[in-house]
Structure 1
Amino acid sequence: MAHERTHVRQQTAYGVEAWWNKYFESAEFRRSQELEAYRNEARWIRENTSCRNKRFKLIQQVARDLSSAIYGNVITYGEAMSKLQ
């Protein structure tokens, strides 16, 4: 939910249609928007997951998602892990 709440806030600030247009047109914009959303998701995981190992595995999955082809491979897994810490 933290991830999606971030996108709602971004779209409200930017304008929904303008946000989507820029999101699909600009890999750098898409990267910045997803990085902010996934950082907020990782923060939520750190604050709400007491088991250290589970927390690490969840953040690894977040980094895999962020660095996946679904977003156009706009960031590497290693860079995503670094930026999510």
Structure 2
Amino acid sequence: MHTMKLQVNETIYSQVLSFINQFQTNELSLVEDTKQEDYIVSSIEEVQKRVFDAESNGNYISADTFFSDMDKKIEAL
């Protein structure tokens, strides 16, 4: 058995996790799943940069979509 350590960008994380989950647990298992906490910001400039980057990359959803998705998940519980 081999052990690998990967750093996966948030943009492809769900795809990588989906790929891993296709295998039987005796073939492949997730040993550790950690995330660098990058949501803490120390300045308004950092917030502005993150918003600009998200808008530039299309890596965001609208507030309406977010709350609609959250409502659906809560209703499914």
TM over 0.5: no
State the TM-score, normalized to the length of structure 1: 0.30
Which structure: larger Rg? 2
